[in-house]
Structure 1
Amino acid sequence: MDIRVLRYFLAVAREQSFSTAAERLYLSQPTLSRQLKELEDELGKTLLVRSNKGVTLTEEGMILRKRAEEIVELMDKTEQEVRQSNDSVSGTVYIGAGETYAIKLIADTAHHLKEDYPDIHYSFFSGDGTDVIEKLDRGLIDFGIIFQPFDSTKYEAVEIPLRDRFGVLMRRDAPLADKELITFDDLAGLPLIVPRQQNHNIMFKRLFGDETENLNIAAEYNLIYNGSVMASEGIGYCIGFDKLINVSGDSKMCFKPLEPPVEVTGNFIWKRYPVFTKAASTFLEQFKKDILCMEKNV
């Protein structure tokens, strides 16, 4: 299976058109069609179906698309790392994280490196802990910030000295909006919009005890913006971290902390025995220094 043909396949899947994809790839349409027919023959499966509405993927085509995206992304990252394996410190540092105020620490380290290493760039992937771990295991990112338990035999970590506090995001005209703090009794029976990470479910079990199964979970989210939109439309009360959604000014939303306080600490993790680029190694060294300095000043 040729990486070049995988790129052709992804272009057709993205454009949903052979003619548009051929134009983007600077190929003739017959050449592109022949290359993808040979790919289908090699796999013994139909991947693409033409119709008056365009090109759609078969079930096998959707499977290949997911894997092809990972293969092409990893190939591009590998090529970049090999080209940049010289004395200069340049290239891209790949970081995955959920939505957290701790991203500020990443930005601070990047700022500290900017003057001495202007050729270091950054690529951020947003997702929940499960998504970040998967990307890390596949070598698609260098580092991740997670809030769930992890296997310390597979990953090294630096604990982040910032705590994210849980609270409730709601409309300003919601019945609970007048309260300064929200208790778990306040939420009993109300429709809740909750994060889908595994460790959050464990947290709810600890907080609500045997009543967890009776909670009115209206929706789950993996990105707080999506949860905030649902809350804004009156779907329910969104449980999430503070400092992530702007509730100031004329926003119709407000955020109320939970009482008793529920706080979590994240970890900045990477695979044990990694093969880092100079850019990634330089970033990690500076990040550790910044964390030590921050801890001393606390």
Structure 2
Amino acid sequence: MLDLKKLQYFLTVAEEGHITKAAKRLNIAQPPLSHQLKVLEQDLGVQLLQKVGRNIQLTEAGRTLRTRGEQIFELVKTVEKELQDVCNGGTGTLSIGSATSWGATFLSEQIAEYNLRYPNIQFRICEDVGHNIVSLLTNGVIELGVILPPFNTELYEAIPMPAEPLMAAMTNKWDDQPSRSDASLTELAKKPLIVHRRSERLLVYYQENKLEPQIVCIHDDVRSMLLLANTGLGVAIVPKTITRSKFGDGLIYKEITKPGSRLTPYIIWMRNRNLSAAARNFVRMITENK
């Protein structure tokens, strides 16, 4: 069985890259630390560390253990927090994962409002691609995730957040109707498009209407989509809130209204896992604001 104390020793050595520095930080002598690391390797049956000059480097197994070990300690912290916060949602930390670049924009107003209600709650926001957010949620590293559908509704409870209009971001090169502030998906099909990887509804619309859009790029990061649009590569389809970022400076934005197209992110959490009071309060607030 993996010993958490030995794991903490290993993670400290991995972070410091040097046995002596790690021993000093842990306030123990170097020989006992080296011995504990050897015992850990024997327990696991793998080599975790290798000496390169005066420094320590991780083997492939060591890199894997470092990643998982950090997640284990995050999970331990989560468990401790849950135990301390069973009946009181007024203090503690709320861990939320959101999709890279656009997710945090949806959360900003909700976090600000929640902070007014519960000023002693600290937020820990993890940004990553959608499938990694789901993995962090499943592993218990975060309590709530903000992602776009689809997701497994048998595994996750979910509530929709406020829908967000979609915008077409472009340079003058692709703006053939400068007097208009809106655009339709049918019109945009004739232009090179930069779309997000999770744009299933957009593609379904084109398929149902027997249109063949000119998709020049599929991307995971909305910020990078705006940067690409700024080069004149094509028209980026992005949520409205991200248009306020510096990445979109200099672009022309047109709301996609014909047909109406809106993006609806969801807050999700594990069905078989109890939420902390802080997380329950956050979900309740989102529900009240719907």
The answer, yes or no, to whether TM exceeds 0.5 is yes
> Are residues 1:271 and 2:270 paired?
yes
Mapped contact 2:192–2:216 kept (Cα < 8 A): no
Letter in 1 for 2:192: L
- How far residue 110 of structure 1 moved from its aligned partner, in angstroms, is 0.7
Alignment deviations for residues 44-72 of structure 1 (CA, whole Å, 9 cap, x no partner): 11112221384332221222222112111
| Structure 2 residue matching 1:35: 3-state secondary structure | helix
Q: Find 1:183's aligned residue among 166, 188, 191.
A: 188
Distance 1:234 1:50 in 2: 50
Two-structure CA RMSD over aligned residues (Å): 3.4
Match of 1:71 in 2: 72
Residue 202 of structure 1 and its aligned partner are, at CA, apart by: 6.4
Equivalent residue letter for 2:110: I
- SS of 1:41 mapped into structure 2: helix
Change (3 A) 1:63 1:259: same
3-state DSSP class of the match of 2:192?
coil
Distance in 2 of aligned mates of 1:138 and 1:20: 31
Q: CA shift at 1:175, angstroms?
A: 2.8
- Structure 2 CA distance for partners of 1:92 and 1:287, relative to 1, 3 Å: same
Q: After the TM superposition, which of the residue ranges 135-144 and 273-282 deviates more from structure 2?
A: 273-282
**Aligned equivalents of 2:110 and 2:70: distance in 1?**
26
Q: In the alignment, what sits opposite 1:110? A: 114
| Structure 1 position 130, deviation (Å) | 1.4
Per the alignment, in what secondary structure is the counterpart of residue 264 of structure 2? strand
Distance 2:142 2:272 in 1: 14
- Alignment-mate amino acid for residue 187 of structure 1: P
Q: In 2 relative to 1, CA 51–164 (structure 1 residues): closer, same or farther, beyond 3 Å?
A: farther
Unaligned segments of structure 1, at least 5 residues? 292-298
Aligned partners of 1:15 and 1:259: how far apart in 2? 54
Of residues 241, 244, 250, the one that matches 1:243 is: 241
Shift of 1:155: 2.0
Answer whether contact 2:230 2:251 (CA < 8 A) is retained: yes
The alpha carbon displacement at 1:283 in A equals 2.6
- 1:75-114 superposed matches below 5 A: 75-85=76-86, 89-98=90-99, 99-100=102-103, 101-114=105-118
Q: Distance in 2 between matches of 1:62 and 1:84?
A: 33
CA distance in 2, matches of 1:271, 1:71: 18
**Would the alpha carbon gap of residues 54 and 102 (structure 1) be closer, same or farther in structure 2, given more than 3 Å must change?**
same
- CA shift, 1:120, in A, is 2.3
What letter is aligned with 1:267?
Answer: Y
Following the alignment from structure 2 to structure 1, what is the Cα–Cα distance between the partners of residues 24 and 226? 40
Match of 1:296 in 2: none
Aligned partner letter, 2:191: D
Query: Equivalents in 2 of 1:34, 1:232: separation in Å?
Result: 56
1:165 corresponds to = 166
Structure 1 residue aligned with 2:129: 128
1:207 aligns with 2:212: no
What TM-score, normalized by structure 2, do the two folds share?
0.77
Deviates more, 1:225-234 or 1:52-61: 225-234
**Would you say 1:2 and 2:3 are equivalent positions?**
yes
Q: Contact 1:167–1:240 (CA<8 Å) still a contact in 2?
A: yes
**Aligned-partner SS, 2:174:** coil
Measured after TM superposition, the shift of residue 11 of structure 1 is 2.4
What number of residue pairs does the alignment pair up? 276
1: CA distance between counterparts of 2:36 and 2:177?
63
- Any stretches of 5+ residues in structure 2 without a counterpart? none
- 1:38 alignment counterpart: 39
Q: Secondary structure at the match of 2:188?
A: coil
